[in-house]
Amino acid sequence: KRKMFAASRVFSTAAKRSFSTSAANLSKVAVVGAAGGIGQPLSLLLKENPHVTHLSLYDIVNTPGVAADLSHINTNSKVTGHTAENNGIEAALKDAHLVVIPAGVPRKPGMTRDDLFNTNASIVRDIATAAAKHCPNAHFLIISNPVNSTVPIFAETMKKAGVFNPKRLYGVTTLDVVRASRFVSEVKSLDPKDVNVTVIGGHSGVTIVPLLSQTGLEFTKEELDALTHRIQFGGDEVVQAKNGTGSATLSMAFAGARFANSVLEATVGGKKNVVEPSFVQSDIFAAEGVEYFSTNVTLGPEGVEKIHAVGQVTDYEKELISKAVPELKKNIAKGNAFAQ
Ligand code: NAI
């Protein structure tokens, strides 16, 4: 009898789910900006992800083609494409479990990420407004730059709608640790899979702070200077090489897919102790007036479970942090002000 009772309880939870979101929608993943330079390869990588049951592609243009193309790949997820026509964003976002946002313009040579603010701020605000309405409980992964400002814009817009959940809003800084791992491994002739570099702060120039002392490797002062600079400004190498046609797209897609997979593993895959860096609401530098900060975070079923402390840092790294904090504060304030 007891068994039957337990079984009926399980059934009723499942039934409830199927009425509100349907079990399959628990891992509906939406990509907003899906037809872009990042959006396309990112969607390709997500089509291969076994946690994704429905890949929902939204962009203002070209998503029907991208969706038709990806839908022929024989993995077990359905693909749908949506555009701005007929309020496509509603169908794209409705009941999504996770939403990745690489929508907006990328840099051209000579531009900083902040130069993108005027165009991307309103794009991100409008996406947040739609998300607040159609999938307020989703996990939101913000790739659109300047991340240091677009994350606050997204948060403030969700707050206005009364649906902000700080555990589920992530600025994607994964590319910084991917680059750091690769660059350090080149200098030390190691396999990058064995090189983990903690990178904290934000996602632009001096706000990117690699903690090379925590790798356990030894560096000369010259190596430290060169590696720190390369990790902070690695994005510029790609912008210059692409010569006006965009910024990192393929490495970013790789990094975005890694982060999305980690969130999926923690939230629907039942995996414990999933650790990734992310720019999240954090009180680490609250005393300095910095509301969002990137450190490693442990991801759990509800999203951000634990924000890791910065840990032991050298004087060299303290100096980097002291330059990052005021710049971050400015970027965050700019985002907050825009959203007001
Ligand atoms: P892209 O121009 O190739 O693609 C952007 C896509 O967004 C386009 O397809 C465009 O139609 C779409 N879009 C524009 N407005 C939209 C809206 N309101 N709703 C939905 N889609 C919209 O640019 P790319 O190279 O894919 O870069 C996208 C963003 O990602 C840029 O802001 C770039 O700076 C940023 N980025 C972030 C990185 C990070 O580490 N977080 C790394 C590299 C780029």
ipTM of the complex, rounded to two decimals: 0.99
List, in order, residues 6 or more apart from 72 with CB less than 8 Å away: none
- Residue 283 Cα to ligand 1 middle (Å): 29
> Both ends of the chain: CA-CA distance in Å?
57
293, β-bridge pairs = 280
The Cα 97–Cα 26 span in angstroms is 5
- Residue 126 Cα to ligand 1 middle (Å): 14
- For residue 204, give the nearest of 315, 303, 117 by alpha carbon: 117
Q: How confident is the model at residue 10 (pLDDT cuts 50, 70, 90)?
A: very low
Q: What is the mean pLDDT of residues 129-149?
A: 98
Output the pLDDT for position 25: 58
Q: How confident is the model at residue 26 (pLDDT cuts 50, 70, 90)?
A: confident
Output the pLDDT for position 11: 39
User: For residue 235, what are its two tokens?
Assistant: 């994005």
Residue 203 known to be catalytic: yes
- Residue 116 is given by DSSP the state G
Residue-wise pLDDT for 156-186, tens only, equals 999 999 999 999 999 999 999 999 999 999 9
User: For residue 279, what are its two tokens?
Assistant: 């720019």
- For residue 327, give the nearest of 167, 146, 171 by alpha carbon: 146
Main-chain phi, psi angles of 295, to 5 degrees: -145, 180
What average pLDDT does the structure give for the chain? Answer: 93
Q: By percentage, how much of the chain surpasses pLDDT 90?
A: 91
Q: What is the mean pLDDT of residues 320-333?
A: 98
Q: How confident is the model at residue 21 (pLDDT cuts 50, 70, 90)?
A: very low
Q: Give the CA dihedral 239, 244, 245, 247, nearest 10 degrees.
A: 20
Q: What is the mean pLDDT of residues 128-136?
A: 98
Q: How confident is the model at residue 198 (pLDDT cuts 50, 70, 90)?
A: very high
Considering the candidates 54, 82, 203, 229, report the single residue annotated as catalytic.
203
Output the pLDDT for position 12: 42
**Which of 83, 101, 105, 279 for mutating ligand 1's site (highest number of atoms within 8 Å of CB)?**
105
The Cα 224–Cα 213 span in angstroms is 9
Output the pLDDT for position 86: 86
Residue-wise pLDDT for 31-80, tens only, equals 999 999 999 999 999 999 999 999 999 999 999 999 999 999 999 999 99
The radius of gyration of the chain from alpha carbons, rounded to an integer in Å, stands at: 20
pLDDT exceeds 60 at position 134: yes
Residue-wise pLDDT for 271-308, tens only, equals 999 999 999 999 999 999 999 999 999 999 999 999 99
Q: What is the mean pLDDT of residues 316-325?
A: 98
List, in order, residues 6 or more apart from 80 with CB less than 8 Å away: 54, 55, 56, 57, 67, 91, 92
Q: What is the mean pLDDT of residues 307-313?
A: 98
**Which residue is closest in CA terms to ligand 1's atom 18?**
123
Q: What is the mean pLDDT of residues 68-94?
A: 96
Q: What is the mean pLDDT of residues 15-40?
A: 74
Output the pLDDT for position 149: 98
Contact at 8 Å (CB) between 306 and 298? Answer: yes
**Which residue is closest in CA terms to ligand 1's atom 5?**
36
Q: Is 33 in the pocket of ligand 1 (CB under 6 A)?
A: yes
CA distance to 48, 57, 87, 158, per residue, from 78 (Å): 11, 11, 20, 28
